[in-house]
Structure 1
Amino acid sequence: MPGGLFAISRDFFNEIGTYDPEMEFWGGENLELSFKTWMCGGTLEQDPCSFIGHVYRKRMPIKGTVAQVFRNTIRLAEVWMDDYKNYFYEYKNYTLNMTIGDISERKKLRENLKCRSFEWFLRNIYTEHEFPHSVFFAGTIKALTKPEMCIDNGGKVIPIMYSCAISAESQFWYFTTDGQIFQQAGHICADNTSVVLEKPSCKKYGKWQYIAESKLIKHEPSGLCLASQQNSDRLKLATCDSSNAWQTWVGQKRRSDLRFPQ
């Protein structure tokens, strides 16, 4: 929800700690308020018949920076997201090389309120969001034949090979222990010899297996392997051949120091 467009009981607002006083300008306050409302015993409701106006000034007396948004969201993650913050840091390629201020009082607030875990929030409140679980790899997937090329979601339509971009959301994939390769745009699925993008899931198409020794990605039901192509940006399935460089893949993490909840 927007961080400034809501109605709330004053007593409850004060009870859950109002806004984080160390957040600067804007960015992150909307998520913090949403998380702690649900996790600390409240509810967030939408009234479809309400009308709220938001009047902007002609000229802003102060200007925010991207660094302030980063700082705010890192404060949010450190206090409220538990180990799931590492997915956020990996996805956004964030590093904690900036001063985010003292968060001890915000953590103490959460402890005193006996707020639930972020995992509870994901499983019970934000159930429509497919959050990764049992991830053994998160990052970009590159073809060894062309290390400058990465698997991309192809405009959220079909997975393709595209020039690697260090923080491109379209090239960030989760590979789970139950054989799924996915991101927010969808799952990489195989139907016969075609490789497609499906949402919300493609478990009906079977699992993928990464074979570390040969660097192959094998589609278990068909026994075929994921392959890039010399004269096309499309992916395909082909008879597995570890000597075929077009079938060899390597994952590149954006950060190597993070552990994900299992």
Structure 2
Amino acid sequence: MTGTSFAVDRRFYYHLGEFDVGMHSSGGNQYMELSWRVWLCGGRLIHVPCSKIGHIQHQEDTTLDLYNYKRAIEVWMEPNLKQFVYDFYDNLTNLYVGDLSTQIWKKSRLSCHPFRWYLSNIWPTLLVYNEDIAAWGSVQNILTGRCLDNHGYLYEGPQDLFVELCHYKYLIQGFSLTRNGVLKTTLHCVNVAEYSSSSRPVLQKCLYGSLQKWTHVKRGQIQHINSKLCLDLDYWGPIMKKCQSDKLTQLWMFTKYEY
């Protein structure tokens, strides 16, 4: 929710335990933490689309955002989900965020759902992209050294897949290949819209069928199973081509492999 423009029942707000006083008020994510608490501890959020609220946004220190974010995830997320976040933001790993005992006590007092419940029931379309995986991280082309990139795309798609200089920011360049062959980001699956050479791979809503299955070996080709085509590169970006084992633009490597 947007913390500068919300209304809440006074008694319920105090029942939840108010804002986390250990967070920096000038940083963001304190509102995200409260919204998690609402959903996980018996409440709900409702958007009021016709309301109009004015707010002057001041420049903020982004390090305070990260401080607040870590306090939230340390209280609410299970260990494997925390690690998922730290893979995205490695500068959070050693960030000290103060005493959390009061917030953890509030959580236990309210008998809240685990965070996995939130992912399953409130935001089921969000993919935990490093679960049940064979390979994950940035996907780098062996010849050019460039990485697959989603350009921060957030909608259902289809949307073109890109390559850019590798910067290892997993929100934009994070991909995974599951053990059953799904190539995905946190929001999309990679698919081939047309089964013809020179077609372009796209990001789109995950269908979880054979249409979106891929195979890959370390430092090797990424092949779309149904079309028998391989992920390649040309001047404009990723493209599907007939597989050629000696073609360097068809060789790719993930940051990490689980085999």
TM-score, scaled to structure 1: 0.81
Equivalent residue number for residue 166 of structure 2? 164
Match of 1:108 in 2: 105
1:178 to 168, 180, 189: 180
Residue 10 (1) aligns with residue 16 (2) = no
Equivalent pair of 2:232/2:238 in contact (CA under 8 Å)? no
Quick one: structure 1 residues 167 and 216, their matched pair in 2 at CA, closer, same or farther if it must change by over 3 Å? same
SS in structure 1 of the partner of residue 239 of structure 2: strand
TM superposition shift of 1:50 = 4.2
Determine if the alignment matches structure 1 residue 227 to structure 2 residue 232.
yes
| 2: CA distance, partners of 1:6 / 1:39 | 18
Q: Does 1:206 pair with 2:212?
A: yes
- Aligned partner of 1:72 in structure 2 is 68
Corresponding residue for residue 139 of structure 1: 137
Asked if the contact 1:172–1:183 (Cα under 8 Å) also holds between the matched residues in 2, the reply is yes
1:195 and 1:34 map into 2 onto residues whose CA distance is 39
1:248 aligns with 2:251: yes
Aligned residue type for 2:238: R
Q: Secondary structure of 1:146's partner?
A: coil
How many Å separate the matches in 1 of 2:68 and 2:253?
34
Give the aligned residue type for 1:8. Answer: V
Identify the match of residue 85 of structure 1 among 66, 79, 82. Answer: 82
Name structure 2 gaps, 5 residues minimum.
154-158
Report the Cα distance in structure 1 between the residues aligned to 2:51 and 2:162, rounded to whole angstroms. 44
1:122 aligns with 2:126: no
C-alpha contact (below 8 Å) 1:153/1:197 kept by paired residues: no
CA RMSD of superposed structures (Å): 2.8
Unaligned runs of 5+ in 1: none
**Number of matched residues?**
246
Matches for 1:17-28 after TM superposition, within 5 Å: 17-24=17-24, 25-28=26-29
Residues 134-174 of structure 1 deviation map (CA, whole Å, 9 limit, x = unaligned): 34433210011122x11123675322332222327432223
Counterpart position of 2:36: 35
Q: Report the AA paired with residue 70 of structure 2.
A: I
Cα 1:70–1:7 change in 2 (3 A) is same
Equivalent-residue separation in structure 1 for 2:236 and 2:52 (angstroms): 51
Instruction: Tell me the distance in 2 between the aligned counterparts of 1:228 and 1:50.
Output: 47
Residue 11 (structure 1) shift: 2.2
Q: Tell me how far apart the structure 2 counterparts of residues 222 and 51 of structure 1 sit (CA, whole Å).
A: 50
Give distance in 2, aligned partners of 1:240 and 1:210. Answer: 14
Match of 2:191 in 1: 189
Closer, same or farther in 2 for the Cα pair 1:246/1:115, shift >3 Å?
Answer: same
Shift of 1:207: 0.5
Label 1:91 to 1:37 Cα distance change in 2 as closer, same or farther (>3 A): same
CA contact (8 A) 1:175 1:181 kept: yes
Following superposition, the deviation at residue 37 of structure 1 comes to 0.5
Q: Distance in 2 between matches of 1:233 and 1:220?
A: 21
Indicate the larger mover: 36-45 or 167-176: 167-176
TM-score (norm 2): 0.82
Residue type matched to 1:65 in 2? D
In the aligned structure 2, how far is the partner of 1:168 from the partner of 1:178?
Answer: 21
Following the alignment from structure 2 to structure 1, what is the Cα–Cα distance between the partners of residues 173 and 48?
37
Q: How far apart are 1:94 and its partner, in Å?
A: 3.6
1:46-61 correspondence to structure 2 within 5 Å: 46-54=47-55, 56=56
Q: Report the Cα offset of residue 39 of structure 1.
A: 0.4
